[in-house]
Structure 1
Amino acid sequence: MYNFEFTRPKTVEEAATAMAAEGAQALGGGQTLLPTMKQRLASPEVLVSLTDVAGMVGVSTSGGALTIGGATTHAQVAAEAADSYPGLAALAANIGDPAVRNRGTIGGSLANNDPAACYPAGALASGATITTNKRDIAADDYFQGMFETALDEDEIITAVSFPIPQKANYQKFDQPASRFALVGVFVAKTADGVRVAVTGASNGGVFRWAEAETALNGDFSASALEGISGDADDMISDLHGTAAYRAHLVGVLTRRAVTACG
């Protein structure tokens, strides 16, 4: 590790001021950022901890939407969203291991936008809104490629609002050592239609699978997806699985998710 400054603001305003410093970076639970710092893949000069910021922790439901504070841990989401949005709660309950779930935060996960993270699929499939200290960003506009988001350098995710769907399910084929998604698929059925988001598979990061959405909007059943598989052309290929294998998993997991929705 190397020398850096550490600050622990108490309000969003204080955090925003700290983030304006040159070389500053927000720190949630540190489950992604700290390992990358240890490997010198990231080298922020100032770490701005968000764990003590008032109003950024907690889960609430209002007007058909579930709102989660940006500094809320995965374990809290798993416990507190179980009644209102069980599909999202189940996603949170299967992130990493207990240590990761009790430290990692939803805001940290979405801000880093790791291509194998679970929350991006949940947010994109749900049509979530990411709220920062500056603005509201629709999930369709927020995710912009592997590790890339619409966030400005000094923006902080203060909350995430999820419209609660009629049905939803997340299926993950995980890499056994890391518990990251080799492929993960989140399916959400709403009054406005079906959204299918895929994580872990593409070189472009999380994406909506339009072909599956079209098929499921016509017939919300696993049989509607027979003969449809992901496009291997832009899939990740590594020691854990080839592009063709990931493309195949996309189809398999989407059918499982639809079946699980009932």
Structure 2
Amino acid sequence: MSLRPVRRWTCQPRAVSRKTRTRRPFVVVHRPQGTPLTPAQRRFLDRCRALPHLADPLDAELTVSTAVSDLTADEEFWAGVIDHATTRPTRRNDRLLRLLAAMLTGRPREWAANAVPAAKPALSTGDSWICDRSLDAGYLALLCTYRFTDEHAMVFLIDELTGGVVRKAFVTRNITTAHDKLAEHGPLHRINPEAAHWLLAKSFHRLDRNPTLDVDEEVHRTRLLAGRRIALAFG
């Protein structure tokens, strides 16, 4: 008696209308979907409850960045947050996913962007200035402008005495006042935005390698904002 190979039947997925919006699942190595949230992830999500009520995109960014400022946010952290937000659709989770798709970098940004489009309006870079006091005072300051609909700026103080680590940072909507205050410390010169953000990227990288360094709390609270703007400046 001859043996015939068994034919394998394949199941074809049901056609989905183009008008139907579905969130594509993402795959994270070593983390099964549905894994319970850690206390840190729950704390972060609780801190983001106000997101649906924030109309200003800068306020929304600051809320997310502040919410994670005292937590260890590695890929595993973001994988759990994005998995939870993707599988439990609420107004908060939808807004959070859109913000993460815009603010994060690397694989976490891709995971969020696979679920929803990035938050609007789009962010663009503007002008940058530098106040270089590295030779006489041991620091340099950067003022960089950006725009959603309205313009805002971020100011960074880089401590050259500790190897070029960002020591202070803050966000302001009053660019003229920030420019004038910074000019009191020394002459301000325009600098190519890409060069300014290259300095920032190096400074934050040094901070990542020395996380125990004593820096201003606003550096941590605005960290996601800075990371997004550095990535944006390099295209």
Name the one with the larger strand percent. 1
- The interval holding the TM-score normalised by the smaller chain is under 0.3
Normalising by structure 1, we get a TM-score of 0.25
More helix by share: 2
From the CA coordinates, give the structure whose radius of gyration is larger: 2
